Every structure is written in C-alpha cells, then in structure tokens.
Amino acid sequence: MTDARLRQSRLNLRTITSALVVAALLLSAASCAGSSAKSSTAKKPPAPRDLYIINAKTGEVTQNFPDTDTENSSVVFAAVADGSGGWYIGGSFSRIGDVSRNGLARLKSDGSLDTEFAPPLPRYAGVGSIVRHGNVVYVGGGEFGAGIPNGVAAFDARSGKKLWQVSTGKEGLVGIDALAFASGTLFVGGAFTKVAGVPRDGIAALDPRTGKPTPWNVRLISGDGKSVAGVNQMSSSNGVIYFTGWFGLVNGVKRNLSIAAVSARTGQVTAWNPQPSSNEPSYFIGILATHGQVLVGGKDGFASYDARTGRVLPWPEHLEYGATVFAASGNTVYLGELYDGGLFSVSGKRVRNLAAIVLPSGRGTNWRPMLSPAPEVRAVAVSGQNVLVAG
C-alpha cells in the first residue's frame, strides 16, 4: 500500500471512530435525558384533588384511587379512621368515583370505595363533622333525611343504616361543627340554641343510643352578652372536654381566650384557664388534647398548653404562622392548615400547609408531602400506615 493510500485509510478510520464516539455520546445523552424525564415524572406532584392518601412515614402520595365529584364544587369537610385501615369521610359531595354517595362514604385502606356502606342520605346532605365509636358512626351537619334539617345522626358503621337523627332547628347557623366521645357520651358543638327541642347553648351531651340530650348542660354566653355563643372544635382527654369557639363566659365563669375545659361527667368548668401568649392565633379554630398537652391553632397563630395547668409551652415558636386541623398517631401529630400559606415552616423547614411534629418536644419531622399547589386542608385522619388529607 502506498503512503498516500495508508494516510487516507488512517484518516477514514479516524473519521469512522469519531463518528462512532459522537453517536455513542448522543445515545448516552438521550438515555440520560430519558432517565431524567422518568425521574422528573416520578417526582411530579399529583394533580389537585379533594382527597390525598399519603404514607405516614415517607410522605409518598398514593395516586390511583377515586376522587369526589370535583366538577360540582364538592368539598370534604371531615374524616375519621374506620379502625380497619380505612376512613369515613363527610362533606358536600354526591359521588365517589362513579358511584353515588351523598355527603358520607367509607374508603378502604387502598382508597377504594366500600360499596357495602351506603347511608340513605339525600343529595348534598352536607356532613361537617364525624366521630366513630365502636360500630356506630356519628355525623353532624345538614339534612339527613325525613325533612329534618340540621343536626346529628347515627349510622351503622358497616351497612350505613341510619339509627337515629335529631335536629338543631331551622333558623340561622344551627349546624353541628364538632363532635367528641367521652365517658360513654356523645358531645356536640356548634352554633345552636336547641337540640331536639331542648335548650342548649352551642354545646350539648347526647345519649349515643337514642340521640336524646342528657341533663348535662353547659351555659355559654358571648363576649358581648348579646349574640349567640358557640363552639368551633372540641377534643376529649382524661374525662375533660376542651373546646374552642366564640364565648366570654362558661357557666358564668370568665375565660380570657375563646378556649375552655369542662368535666365530661358533670359539665363543671375546670380551673384550666390559659393566659394570652405571643404565638397564639387571633381566632381559635382547631384543638387537640393529647400527651398531656392541648394544641390550639388558627390562621395566624398556634399555641400549646399544659393540659393540667394551662401553662404556655414554648415549642410552638418553631412554627411559622398557624395550623387549624390536627390528627395524632402515637406521639406524632400531623398538622394541616386551611388557608394558603398559613402553615409556612416548621423547625425552620419550608412546608406547604402540611407537616408532622413529635411530642412532647414539638420537633418537626422530615414528613413533607410534595403537593402543589398547597392544599386547603380541611381534615386530616391517620389510619394504619397512611394519612388521609381532605383539601
């Protein structure tokens, strides 16, 4: 082979080699891009919806389960664990997925609808609060049938058969916003002046078997002494009912803040009377009594008090802004905020209206679900290994 041909052969070889290298690089880049795209897709936040099921440890969001009828502006207001890894949910919806369900439904642990639980409620019944005790589900809200408006109803936890219902009347804001079970009694709170025709001032105790009011009677009077007093939320612990609302006097005893505690057995006002703190909300909404503490929150603040003495605890300073809904699982408390941007950071870490803390220290955890935009959290309920968030 002549020198010229040898040089040309080497040149052709280098050209082919270069082409192969370039092709390999392009293929590698394409592969990386594909991997990056897949990774990006895997981490993409789920589309906005009414319900989210989130792993209680990892914060991973379950994607495949039916939603409510979002096109009809439905809202889920309340949720509670069913004791079997699932949840009961209540709100203004009229279906779950493709199945008709008016205001009350049961979801299994995987988020699918329990078709056996079929309460006979009218369209848009409107459930605003739920509590489960044993094999009965108690709900508060709007009309539950038979033309009886606003009140409380009880349903068989398995079939959804209605067991009883009572009314809080037709006039004005007379719904039931809060429910709690303690000392074998169902406690209800809201903006009512009567329950089943019996005078009661925004808080009452009912016989859980019949719905009839018991002799237990706590008198709430508004701060101005003129408007109707009432209860926003309530929580029970060790035979005591803690509640938030709008009132100035409880059984004639003045309370500096719109939070109070009464005996679940007698209705007597306890000595628990927290004093104002720098981090408290201007308007109390949510409340949770657990692990010797009483957590209270609103849009613009959050506070925690010793459940026995009412002493202000310092750890809520770790929270920026507030939280309005709570759910406890062991010593972990999951926090949610209804208002966009309300719960901004916990222990210096940015969150989006959802977070988890550990008691008694209030230290923030790494549980930070990736939801975008930040949900308007109306209810949080822990069941098994998952957290149901209604937003």
What is the CATH classification number for the domain harbouring 188?
2.130.10.10
Instruction: State the pLDDT confidence band at 12, using cuts at 50, 70 and 90.
Output: very low
Q: Which of 252-256, 337-341, 369-373 has the highest mean pLDDT?
A: 252-256
**Is the full-model pTM beyond 0.75?**
yes
DSSP element (H, E) containing 9:
helix 3-43
pLDDT, residue 203, reads 96
One domain, residues 72 and 23? no
Instruction: Return the bridge partners of 164, or none.
Output: 154
Phi first, then psi: what are they for 291, rounded to 5°? 50, 40
First to last CA, the chain: 80
Q: Which residue has the higher pLDDT, 204 or 49?
A: 204
**266, pLDDT greater than 90:** yes
One domain, residues 87 and 10? no
One domain, residues 76 and 9? no
Instruction: State the pLDDT confidence band at 70, using cuts at 50, 70 and 90.
Output: low
Q: Residue 158 — left, alpha, or beta (φ > 0 → left; ψ -120 to 50 → alpha)?
A: alpha
SS3 sequence of 14-27 = HHHHHHHHHHHHHH
pLDDT, residue 24, reads 41
Count other C-beta atoms under 10 Å from residue 293's C-beta.
Answer: 19
Residue count of the chain: 391
**346, pLDDT greater than 50:** yes
One domain, residues 18 and 64? no
Of the candidate ranges 37-41, 175-179, 200-204, the one whose mean pLDDT is the lowest: 37-41
Q: Cα(53)–Cα(346) distance, rounded to whole angstroms? A: 22
Query: Quick check: 388 and 89 in contact, CB under 8 A?
Result: yes
One domain, residues 232 and 332? yes
Tokens encoding 23: 């092709």
Q: What percent of the chain has pLDDT over 90?
A: 51
Query: Quick check: 200 and 192 in contact, CB under 8 A?
Result: yes
Q: How many domains does the chain have?
A: 2
- The DSSP secondary-structure symbol of 282 reads S
pLDDT digits (tens, 9 = 90+) for 71-117: 556 788 999 999 999 999 999 888 888 899 999 999 999 889 999 99
One domain, residues 146 and 253? yes
pLDDT, residue 371, reads 80
The residue written with tokens 């079929």 in the block is 118
pLDDT, residue 135, reads 96
* CA distances (Å), origin 23, targets 14, 20, 43, 156, 275: 14, 5, 30, 67, 73
Q: Which residue has the higher pLDDT, 182 or 18?
A: 182
**200, pLDDT greater than 90:** yes
**45, pLDDT greater than 70:** no
Q: Cα(368)–Cα(383) distance, rounded to whole angstroms? A: 18
Q: Which of 67, 72, 126 has the alpha carbon at shortest distance from 102?
A: 126
Q: What is the mean pLDDT of residues 268-283?
A: 84
Instruction: Return the bridge partners of 242, or none.
Output: 235, 261
One domain, residues 30 and 117? no
The residue written with tokens 């439904």 in the block is 105
One domain, residues 253 and 139? yes
**Structural domain that includes position 123:** 50-390
| pLDDT, mean over the chain | 83
One domain, residues 31 and 68? no
Q: Which residue has the higher pLDDT, 176 or 279?
A: 176
pLDDT, residue 327, reads 96
pLDDT, residue 30, reads 43
Tokens encoding 133: 């005790």
pLDDT, residue 318, reads 74
User: What does the angle CA 105 – CA 108 – CA 114 come to, to the nearest 5 degrees?
Assistant: 50
Q: Cα(91)–Cα(378) distance, rounded to whole angstroms? A: 10
Domain boundary among 11, 28, 44: 44
One domain, residues 23 and 156? no
Task: Considering only CA atoms, give the Rg of the chain.
Answer: 27
Tokens encoding 269: 């006002």
Tokens encoding 193: 């002046």
Q: Cα(362)–Cα(348) distance, rounded to whole angstroms? A: 13
Query: Quick check: 93 and 50 in contact, CB under 8 A?
Result: yes
Burial class from Cβ neighbours inside 10 Å (0-12, 13-18, 19+) for residue 256 reads: exposed
One domain, residues 71 and 150? yes
| Largest separation between any pair of C-alpha atoms in the chain | 116
Ranges of beta strands (E only) in 93-237 are: 95-96, 99-100, 104-107, 127-133, 136-141, 151-156, 162-167, 176-182, 185-190, 194-195, 198-199, 203-206, 220-221, 230-237
Q: Which of 17-21, 223-227, 349-353, 377-381 has the highest mean pLDDT?
A: 377-381
Q: Which of 391, 389, 390, 304 has the alpha carbon at shortest distance from 55?
A: 389
One domain, residues 180 and 257? yes
Q: Which of 102, 46, 48 has the alpha carbon at shortest distance from 70?
A: 48
